[in-house]
Structure 1
Amino acid sequence: MLRLKGIDLGRILLGIRICSYCFAALISLSAHATWLQQWQLELDSGYAQASTSPVFASQDQWFADAALRWYPQYHNLQGQLVALSQSKQKQDNQHDLILAELFWKTELAERDLLVGKQRIDLGVSYGFRPLDMFLPYRRNPVAIQVEEGVGVLSLSQFSGNGEYALFYTDSYLATGSEGLQQRGAGLRWYQLSNNSEWQTLAYYDNQRALNLGGSWVSTFGDAWEVHAESRYQQHYRRMVSHLTQNNIGQVAPISEQEFDDGIQALLGMTWANLAGDNLIVEYWFDNRALSQQQWQQVADVSHYLAQQDGGLNQLRYSQGAVFNGQNIMQHNVMLHWHRDIEDWQPAFDVMLAPEDGGVIATARLDYEFIQGWTLGARLRYLGGADNAVYQLLPESRVGLIKLEGRF
């Protein structure tokens, strides 16, 4: 990702336009060129209300984001270039130009060959996807998110009802993947049979060693669907807090440690009716997240440090690093509802933490006022019970309006 601090967004947008014109000019040299392109504009503006968490020095703030995405395609070559601008109150603006995807697909010896940088999405779930093992993406964000691809080389063989694939990936090409970089090779098998589909993956990389995963989806009648997804990883890394009220100043407050045998598993179901209602219920477990006892230790020492002299603030804020995991809690329940009503798209999510009563609730409403153009609103609440871990997050409420259009 190119960090272009201090450069006006207009220059970035001009640059992406120039790139598109140059690309189109080169392609036009071929008399038989098949050239397609699409643009997508996203704008949002909102307000984040800070929580009373002792772990983060957060403040109420306004924010705004803008993203212009360009999707060029020439024969078997496809790409995605994103100009992203992010502005937060009392912070420097950040402007990025991101090559999110650029890949080439062709046929080799009756097999499909793919080379380049592509977003790989093998998960079948809604709230959490264990099979996002190459570069995990934040699920259901309220603000604009750029989902960058990873370097990939794959060879696939299709049968009547299935697929076999041999692949190599390199997430070091994803410039926004700091702390998640790995490279490795693996095999994937996919099979479709009647109303069910299965897939299994075996992947070995230079950071986590062996990764094994699989998924299953099956439909029952016209209204019901059941899905399951799981993954095992031989090694994983996690930030660990060492502070207690009795060892302050004697130990390092936090460190990254390696653990063995990471397990993530999810089970869910979907129900739909002819009126357009869709309901999803999911439960998942992730043993890489901190246990309830470990979270209680973080909360206790953070509240204790907050009551001491202000010189300990740096030590207190160091505890925020333990929130960087893919899942905060080990046990999670997700309830999701949305309805398709022609131009209107209402939706509502509730994520529950059964261990301590934590709640993250998100309401969404989108309205397509012109074909291809949507006006939307988002409202998210983070909290729950008084002692819930979600109460320690830096924000308690987030609201925004957004505009999105394709042309």
Structure 2
Amino acid sequence: MAQFALIWLLLLVSTFSQAAWQQQWQLELDAGFASASNSPVFASEDQGFADAALRWFPQYGNLQAQLVALSQNKQKQDNQHDLIFAELFWKTEVAERDLLVGKQRIDLGVSYGFRPLDMFLPYRRNPVAIQVEEGVGVLSLSQFSGSGEYALFYTDSYLATESEGLQQRGAGLRWYQLSNNSEWQVLTYYDNKRALNLGGTWVTTFGDAWEVHAESRYQQHYLRAVSHLNPDNIGTVSPVSEQEFKHGFQALIGMTWANLNGDNLILEYWFDNRALNQQEWQNVADISRYLEQQNGGISQLRYSQGEVFNGQNLVQHNLMLHWHRDIEDWQPAFDLMLAPEDGGVIATARLDYEFSQGWTLGARLRYLGGASSAVYSLLPESKIGLIKLEGYF
């Protein structure tokens, strides 16, 4: 109730103090179709969907916010409607230092396909449908120099309504430095769920067309869903449990090339030891297919294996190629994500056309699968296509 009272207060202030407020609205509409895969893990079926999001970005002096009205409608499923306070924060200066208080999205990564430094809330990279990215509660104090920044901060992701299972509270230090054509960033963070987190980034440019970037993170503890089933213990053990592991590590290296014609290429490789290895995924696939062939309630146990798919990265080794081109009003793009261990492929084509100032019509097509033994072929959808309309006013 307190959240809705604050929303109405902001609306009233906006109404009676138009001269003092700056605001922008964004409307997103999409409609599409998802084609079900033949996965033995998920009970999916072909279905259409339509989503809508209306975002309001008000600003009054140093106070900024983002409020989202989200509607998600799926064929053969209950419709979902949410009002989300994605951000609400206040910035000011205290003793020649910048102070920030409130709920804000923190995005410190420098990479494209995966960002290890998204350690406060993991954000979906390159979604095809509408996605609302919430901020976390944050209190930070920053000091800037001529070529860098030092920051002391506290975060609380319990304030994010969409972060079930991912909440933590912690405090940390951030150091950023820019020198000539290179920039560095180091982050130290300690929270109540993962204990010590250490992260860093590096970016450098050379020539007129090339850039190289790297990003990594270590976390002292991490949770992962573990499957316990095999043909001999069905009915005697819990199918899946969440277990704590030590020493999680993610590392990414990539490069970018651009030319004067508007072409941009990004190539990235990243490793995540928190993900299941190839043998562990093979065991999940084997037991799921075995259960699928059984009769009665035993067959339904295969759906329990879906919990194993909740990690940020499904596979440990990841390759990604991204291309996009700016052609005046047209913006085509293509992503190719590969799992070299098992031949998995996720390919996404995008095309956007700005038909009026601030208004864009787009299309998305995504394929998930690859080799028959690939982890990506176990996902619930094999193809997703949609058209979308997006505009600012």
TM-score (norm 2): 0.97
Q: Give the secondary-structure state (helix, strand or coil) at the position aligned to 1:348.
A: strand
The reply on whether 1:236 has 2:225 as its aligned counterpart is no
* C-alpha separation in 2, matches of 1:18 and 1:183: 29
Q: Do the aligned residues in 2 keep the contact of 1:152 with 1:169 (CA within 8 Å)?
A: yes
Q: Is the 8 A contact 1:16 1:83 kept in 2?
A: no
Aligned to 1:340: 326
Larger mean Cα displacement after TM superposition, 121-130 or 308-317: 308-317
Whole-angstrom distance in 2 between the partners of 1:103 and 1:23: 16
- 1:222 aligned onto 2:208: yes
Judge which range, 167-176 or 18-27, deviates more: 18-27
Deviates more, 1:380-389 or 1:312-321: 312-321
Q: Does the CA contact (< 8 Å) of 1:201 and 1:214 recur in 2?
A: yes
Listed one character per residue, the Cα deviations across residues 292-312 of structure 1 (whole Å, up to 9, x for unaligned) are 111000000000000111422
SS at match of 1:52: coil
What is the identity, as a one-letter code, of the residue corresponding to 2:13? F
Spell out, residue by residue over 1:58-88, the C-alpha distance to the aligned partner (whole angstroms, 9 max, x if none): 0000001000000000000000000000000
Residue type at the aligned position of 1:174: A
1:6 is aligned to none
**C-alpha separation between the residues in 2 aligned to 1:81 and 1:19?**
13
The answer (yes or no) to whether the contact 1:374–1:405 under 8 Å persists in 2 is yes
Aligned partners of 1:221, 1:378: CA distance in 2, in Å?
Answer: 34
Deviation at 1:23, TM superposition (A): 2.5
Alignment pair present for 1:281 and 2:267: yes
Alignment of 1:193-204 (within 5 A): 193-204=179-190
TM-score normalised according to structure 1 size: 0.94
* Alpha-carbon separation, structure 1, partners of 2:15 and 2:265: 48
2:244 pairs with 1:258:
yes
Deviation at 1:210, TM superposition (A): 0.1
Equivalent residue for 2:178, pick from 177, 192, 202: 192
The one-character-per-residue Cα deviations of 1:223-268 (angstroms, maximum 9, x if unpaired) are 0000000000000000000001111111110000000000000000
Unaligned 5+ segments in structure 2 are none
The residue number in structure 2 matching 1:164 is 150
What pairs up with 1:52-71 in 2 under 5 angstroms? 52-71=38-57
Distance 1:387 1:19 in 2: 54
Post-superposition offset of 1:313 = 3.5
Report the Cα offset of residue 24 of structure 1. 1.2
**Alignment partner, residue 151 of structure 1:** 137
Q: Which amino acid in 1 is paired with 2:267? A: V
SS at match of 2:198: strand
Residue matched to 2:163: 177
SS of alignment partner, residue 303 of structure 1 = helix
1:23 matched residue in structure 2: 13
Match in the other structure for 2:63: 77
Q: Is the 8 A contact 1:165 1:187 kept in 2?
A: yes
**More deviation, 303-312/394-403:** 303-312
Distance in structure 2 (CA, Å) of the matches to 1:342 and 1:318 = 48
Q: Does 1:290 align with 2:276?
A: yes
Amino acid at match of 1:41: L
Q: What is the SS of the residue equivalent to 1:386?
A: coil
Shift of 1:91: 0.5
Give 3-state SS (helix, strand or coil) of 1:41's partner: strand
Match 1:315 to one of 301, 309, 320:
301
The one-character-per-residue Cα deviations of 1:317-341 (angstroms, maximum 9, x if unpaired) are: 0000000000000000000000000
Q: Residue 299 of structure 1 aligns with which residue?
A: 285
Q: Does 1:46 align with 2:36?
A: no
**Identical residues among aligned pairs (%):** 82
Range 308-317 or range 349-358, more displaced: 308-317
Assess, with a 3 A threshold, how the Cα gap between structure 1 residues 299 and 226 changes in structure 2: closer, same or farther: same
What amino acid maps onto 2:162 in structure 1? G
1:16 deviation in Å?
11
> Against the structure 1 CA distance between its residues 232 and 320, is the aligned structure 2 distance closer, same or farther, given a 3 Å change threshold?
same
Q: In structure 2, which of residues 355, 376, 379 is the aligned counterpart of residue 390 of structure 1? A: 376
Please report how far the alpha carbon of residue 19 of structure 1 lies from its aligned counterpart in structure 2 after TM superposition: 6.1
Check 1:17–1:178 CA distance in 2 against 1; reply closer, same or farther (3 A cut): closer
The question of 1:247 aligning with 2:237 is answered no
What RMSD, in angstroms, separates the aligned Cα atoms of the two structures? 1.6
Does residue 390 of structure 2 align to residue 404 of structure 1? Answer: yes
- Whether the 8 Å CA contact 1:185–1:205 is kept in 2: the answer is yes
Structure 1: runs of 5 or more not aligned: 3-11
Counterpart code for 1:357: G
Q: What residue is the counterpart of 1:352 in the other structure?
A: 338
Alpha carbons 2:291, 2:300 under 8 Å: kept: no
Indicate if the aligned counterparts of 2:292 and 2:300 stay in contact, CA closer than 8 A: no
1:205 aligns with 2:191: yes
